């Protein structure tokens, strides 16, 4: 492993640690941060494959751990929100296929646009709520799945619907992570050849980032009652803004070549 790769690995480890800590504190946010970081170093499709398994582990843990226990969480949320999870899965399959069909330049610009929306709306404190109807559920779930499958930015769209079904942060976090998990299943289905082609160093990086993510996720869950969620989100917004500008620059320069 050369020095440049070691520096990249150390930087990614720090970013994944911070993102997992945020996920533990708030239940949301890690995938967008980590994907943006990786997309500034690797092609977007490769970045999404690398972040897939660490994110999937965090989604599964956030969905199932806590509350009334693993079995209750699995059965309860699947029973009540199966349709949202299903349309997220369908949208995820379509979105992941876009990674294979569409020039990554345009997907980078889409990711940059979603990041800009996420950052600006967070800074302004404005949250768009969709009506709690079946049409909104299907539309938001499908669109979130498509965007999530192609850019890993599912939360920015899905949150608009989740805010309409509950004001409880725990419910929003668990339903959101249920949908994110099925979005990852969709990516595994579509990108199985790319996953099979990963090199040994890639798997080593995935294993390291997965381990760091799980440890920091548990720490975030433990520290949830002590840390200021608002201050931590400000730090994450700063990090993702810098990374988002870099991703946008990559997309624009590639478009002009």
Q: Average pLDDT in the 48-67 region?
A: 92
Q: Map out the domains of the chain as residue ranges.
A: 3-256
pLDDT band at 23 (very low <50, low <70, confident <90, very high): confident
Q: Average pLDDT in the 144-159 region?
A: 87
pLDDT band at 30 (very low <50, low <70, confident <90, very high): confident
What is the structure's pLDDT at 227?
Answer: 65
Q: Average pLDDT in the 55-68 region?
A: 90
Q: Average pLDDT in the 160-174 region?
A: 83
Side-chain-facing half-sphere of 162: CA atoms under 13 Å: 24
Q: What is the pLDDT of residues 37-49, one digit of tens each?
A: 888 888 888 999 9
Q: Is 27 left (phi over 0), alpha (psi -120 to 50) or beta?
A: left
Q: What is the pLDDT of residues 183-242, one digit of tens each?
A: 999 999 999 999 999 999 999 999 999 999 999 999 988 887 776 666 666 766 777 788
For residue 102, CA distances in Å to 51, 98, 155, 204, 221 come to 20, 5, 22, 29, 38
The most confident of the ranges 91-95, 159-163, 170-174 is 91-95
What is the structure's pLDDT at 98?
Answer: 92
Is-contact 209 16, C-beta < 8 A?
A: yes
Three-state DSSP at 139 gives helix
Of 64-73, 114-123, 197-206, minimum mean pLDDT range = 114-123
The pLDDT of residue 243 is above 50: yes
């Amino acid at each position: 492993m050369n020095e440049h790769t070691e520096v990249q690995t150390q930087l990614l480890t720090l970013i994944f640690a911070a993102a997992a800590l945020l996920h533990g504190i708030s239940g949301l946010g890690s995938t967008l941060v980590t994907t943006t970081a990786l997309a500034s170093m690797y092609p977007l499709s490769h970045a999404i494959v690398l972040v897939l398994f660490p994110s999937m582990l965090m989604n599964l843990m956030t969905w199932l751990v806590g509350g009334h226990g693993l079995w209750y969480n699995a059965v309860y949320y699947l029973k009540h929100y199966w349709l949202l999870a299903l349309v997220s899965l369908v949208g995820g399959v379509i979105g992941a296929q876009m990674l294979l069909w569409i020039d990554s330049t345009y997907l980078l610009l889409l990711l940059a646009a979603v990041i800009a929306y996420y950052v600006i709306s967070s800074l302004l404190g404005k949250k768009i709520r969709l009506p709690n109807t079946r049409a909104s559920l299907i539309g938001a779930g499908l669109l979130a799945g498509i965007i999530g499958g192609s850019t890993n930015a599912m939360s920015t769209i899905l949150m608009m619907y989740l805010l309409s079904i509950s004001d409880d942060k725990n419910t929003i976090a668990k339903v959101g992570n249920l949908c994110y998990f099925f979005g990852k299943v969709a990516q595994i289905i579509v990108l199985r050849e790319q996953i099979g082609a990963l090199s040994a160093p890639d798997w080593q990086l995935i294993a390291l980032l997965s381990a760091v993510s799980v440890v920091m996720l548990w720490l975030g869950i433990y520290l949830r009652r002590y840390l200021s969620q608002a201050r931590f989100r400000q730090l994450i917004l700063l990090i993702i803004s810098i990374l988002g500008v870099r991703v946008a620059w990559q997309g624009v320069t590639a478009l002009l070549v």
